[in-house]
Amino acid sequence: MELELRHLRTVRAIADAGSLTRAAATLGLAQPALSTQLRRIERALGGPLFVRDHTGSRPTPLGELVLDRARFVLPAVRELQEEAVRFANTWARWDRFRLGGTHGPLLGGLVDRLLAAHPGAPVTTHTTWSVSEIADQLTDGRLDFALIGTCGESAPPEPDRLAWQLIGVDPVFVMLPESHPRAGEEEVELAALAGECWTDVPGEGCFGDCFEAACARAGFAPVQVYETDTASCVHLVQVARAVGLCRATFPPAPGIVTRPLAGTPLTWRHLLGWHPGSAAAEASGTVAGHTRAAYAEAVARSASYRQWLAAHPRFGEPITP
């Protein structure tokens, strides 16, 4: 029998589990079947790989040698597979723009600018609430670029494998119906909204926890938080069923005002990402420039945000040295 990658995965699973019984459960096999497979692997490698007793399974010196090699071989093969899939999906070209994004005001602006600047290049989009899904699609080459957001200073997904460029930093504003008693204030104390229901879009990451922590510091717990799509969030605010959380670049909507929260308890970073090993990385500077321009346009559409930025220069588009 020739040694295969699945055999190395089996040996590693036994070592990780510490017993054949637990390893069989992890691998979805019956223990006798796993024992038979292990004996075949041991015959192929020339000796026993584990000492088995009432305490479980421990690697023999030969087993340690195999496990040491497996720790290098298995990740290398996985990386080779990912790189091959990424190459097959990109076909060594960047004269197209496959964009991914979560909710936010910038994806439409980026599409508009790319279509205008590169009229012959196809532009496609994929949106999801999941930043981890977006990262996976960048990694395996199904997307060329992605627009995501992260709460505060939290790290973007896969920071060691993907390149992320900061586009802008926004405070989180509150959306209020025009009839709200706080709608005329220049900024709103979070504590003044203690009795309100809230609405926000869903997503991964720490934003929900950070919001609850900010409310706790202000001395209250949210009465109710409705997580729903953007249009439904706007509707709930318009009919005064809730107040909403939004980035400062949120576009104006009828019957709604956006106001900064005093002390800026919550912030949001806009990021553009790509895989540095992809063919599309060659166009990263161009796409980043269009994304920054789309962000500047989004800022320009919000009079309240422009006014706020004048007194808070550390927000908005980062200053390049």
Q: Which fold has domain 93-321?
A: D-Maltodextrin-Binding Protein; domain 2 (3.40.190)
Burial 141-174 (b: 16+ CB within 10 A, else e): bbbbbbbbbbbeeeebbbeeebbbbebbbbbbbb
**Helices 303-311 and 284-300, packing angle to 10 deg:** 100
Share of the chain above pLDDT 90, in %: 49
Residue 131 and residue 157 in contact, taking contact as beta carbons nearer than 8 Å:
yes
Split at pLDDT 50, 70, 90, the class of 318 is: confident
Q: pLDDT tens digits for 147-163?
A: 999 998 888 999 999 99
CA 66 to chain CA centroid, nearest Å: 36
Q: pLDDT tens digits for 191-210?
A: 999 999 999 998 877 888 99
Residue 244 and residue 237 in contact, taking contact as beta carbons nearer than 8 Å:
yes
Q: Is the pTM of this model over 0.85?
A: no
Residue the block writes with tokens 């938080």: 225
**Which CATH code of 2.60.40.10, 2.102.10.10, 3.30.70.1230, 1.10.10.10 fits the domain covering 5-90?**
1.10.10.10
Range scoring the smallest mean pLDDT among 37-46, 234-243, 258-267: 37-46
For the chain, the domains span 5-90, 93-321
Start-to-end CA span in the chain (Å): 61
Q: pLDDT tens digits for 93-143?
A: 557 899 999 877 789 999 999 999 988 888 999 998 888 999 999 998 899
Residue 280 and residue 162 in contact, taking contact as beta carbons nearer than 8 Å:
no
| Residues 6 or more apart whose Cβ sits within 8 Å of residue 172 | 245, 246, 247, 248, 261, 264, 265, 266, 267, 268
Output the six-digit token pair for 41.
Answer: 């692997």
